[in-house]
C-alpha cells in the first residue's frame, strides 16, 4: 500500500499547491484552470507547514509573493486556525515583517511572482479583500458566495470564514440591516440568505463564474496527516499487515472529521475487520488525491 498510495497523493499535493500559486501570481505552469475558490491562508499553511512534499523552490516563490501581496494576507486568520502550528505561522509573519524577504525583492529567476490578479474567478478572495479588507468581512462574503446553498446558519459561516462566531454574527447583522442579506428564524436558529445574483454582479462575476467552496484548511490538514502516516508506514518494513491495519484505524480517528467535512467517504472499521481495512483505506487516499488534483489531469500526467 505505501508505494501505490503515497506517490499519487504526493504528486497531487505538489500539483495542487503549484497550480494554486500559479493562479495567484507565481511564475509557474498553469496545470489546469481552477474552478474552486482559493483560500490564501490555507495555501500558505500548506506551503510552509512541516510537510512531506517540502519544496524549496515553491517556498521561495511563496516568500516573494508575500513580499508583493502582504496587504492581502490575514495573519489573524492564520492564527485562528493554526495557532498550534507556530512554525508555519511564524515563517509567514517573518516574511511579512521583512525578515525573510524585503518587499519587492526578487529571490531568483526560479522564484518570480507578481501581484495576484483579482479578476481571476478562483482569486475571488483577493478581489473581496481589495473591496473590503483582508479581514472577517471579506471572508464572510466569500463563504456565502461560494457555499453551494443560498442559505447558511451562523456557525457554518464562522467556520468557513475562520473567524470568531461573535464577530461573524455582528457582520451578518450589519449586512442584514443594510439590506444585503435576508434573514429568517427556525426556532432558535438564525438562517441567513444571500442573493448570489445581486452579489456576483457587485463583485463583477456572473453566476456561472463564481468559484465553488472547498474547506481547504481541513483538506490540507488531512492531506498532511495522511502523507505523514504513509511515510512512517513506508519506513516500517517489519510491521505485519494486521498491525498496519490496526494503526490505520487508530490514525483515521484523528483525521476522519476533516475528511468527512470535505465529503470524503471514510471507511467504517466495523465493516472491514482485520487486514481487510487496508483496501478501503487505500481507496479513501485515492479519493483525497482526486480532490486535490482533477482525476483527468492525474491520468494524463502518469
Model pLDDT for residues 92-140, shown as the tens digit of each residue:
777 777 644 454 454 444 448 888 899 999 999 999 999 998 999 999 9
Contact 211, 35 (CB under 8 A): yes
Using a pLDDT cut of 70, give the percent of the chain over it: 90
The reported pLDDT for the residue numbered 301 is: 58
What pTM does this model have? Answer: 0.89
What is the CATH classification number for the domain harbouring 152? Answer: 1.10.10.10
Phi, psi of 200 (to 5 degrees): -65, -35
- The set of cell numbers assigned to 223 is 492531506
Q: How far apart are CA 266 and CA 255, in angstroms?
A: 10
Per-residue DSSP letter, 212: B
- The set of cell numbers assigned to 298 is 492525474
Long-range contacts of 201-208 (CB under 8 A, 24+ apart): 203/124, 203/127, 203/128, 203/131, 203/145, 204/119, 204/127, 205/121, 205/124
Q: How far apart are CA 225 and CA 9, in angstroms?
A: 12
Domain count, the chain: 3
The reported pLDDT for the residue numbered 3 is: 45
Q: Do 6 and 114 belong to one domain?
A: yes
- The set of cell numbers assigned to 67 is 513580499
Q: What is the mean pLDDT of residues 228-247?
A: 84
Q: Do 201 and 226 belong to one domain?
A: no
Q: Which residues pair with 192 in a beta bridge?
A: 152, 183
Contact 217, 42 (CB under 8 A): yes
The reported pLDDT for the residue numbered 5 is: 58
Q: Torsion angle, CA of 198/203/204/207, rounded to 10 degrees?
A: -50
**Is 128 domain-assigned?**
no
**Is 125 domain-assigned?**
no
* pLDDT tens-digit series, residues 192-209: 999 999 999 999 999 999
* Nearest of 119, 131, 151, 147 to residue 25 by alpha carbon: 119
Cell 510537510 -> residue = 51
For 285, the domain range is 218-301
Length of the chain: 302
**Is 123 domain-assigned?**
no
Amino acid at each position: 500500500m505505501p508505494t501505490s498510495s503515497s506517490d499519487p497523493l504526493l504528486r497531487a499535493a505538489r500539483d495542487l499547491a503549484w497550480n494554486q500559486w500559479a493562479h495567484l501570481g507565481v511564475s509557474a505552469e498553469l496545470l489546469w484552470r481552477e474552478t474552486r475558490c482559493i483560500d490564501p491562508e490555507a495555501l500558505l499553511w500548506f506551503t510552509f507547514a512541516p510537510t512531506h512534499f517540502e519544496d524549496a523552490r515553491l517556498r521561495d516563490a511563496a516568500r516573494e509573493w508575500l513580499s508583493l501581496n502582504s496587504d492581502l494576507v490575514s495573519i489573524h486568520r492564520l492564527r485562528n486556525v493554526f495557532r498550534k502550528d507556530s512554525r508555519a505561522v511564524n515563517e509567514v509573519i517573518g516574511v511579512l515583517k521583512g525578515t525573510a524577504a524585503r518587499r519587492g525583492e526578487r529571490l531568483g529567476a526560479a522564484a518570480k511572482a507578481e501581484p495576484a490578479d483579482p479578476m481571476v474567478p478562483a482569486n475571488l478572495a483577493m478581489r473581496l479583500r481589495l473591496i473590503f479588507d483582508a479581514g472577517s468581512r471579506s471572508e464572510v462574503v466569500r463563504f456565502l458566495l461560494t457555499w453551494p446553498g443560498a442559505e447558511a446558519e451562523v456557525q457554518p459561516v464562522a467556520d468557513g470564514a475562520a473567524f470568531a462566531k461573535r464577530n461573524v454574527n455582528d457582520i451578518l447583522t450589519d449586512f442584514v440591516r443594510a439590506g444585503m442579506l435576508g434573514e429568517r428564524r427556525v426556532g432558535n436558529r438564525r438562517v441567513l440568505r444571500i442573493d448570489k445574483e445581486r452579489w456576483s454582479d457587485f463583485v463583477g462575476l456572473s453566476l456561472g463564474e463564481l468559484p465553488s467552496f472547498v474547506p481547504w484548511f481541513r483538506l490540507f490538514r488531512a492531506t498532511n496527516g495522511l502523507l505523514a502516516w504513509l511515510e512512517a508506514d513506508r519506513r516500517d518494513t517489519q510491521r505485519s499487515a494486521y498491525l498496519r491495519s490496526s494503526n490505520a484505524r487508530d490514525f483515521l480517528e484523528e483525521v476522519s472529521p476533516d475528511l468527512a467535512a470535505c465529503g470524503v467517504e471514510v471507511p467504517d472499521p466495523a465493516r472491514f475487520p482485520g487486514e481487510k481495512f487496508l483496501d478501503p483505506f487505500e481507496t479513501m487516499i485515492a479519493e483525497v488525491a482526486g480532490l486535490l488534483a482533477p482525476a483527468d489531469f492525474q491520468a494524463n500526467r502518469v
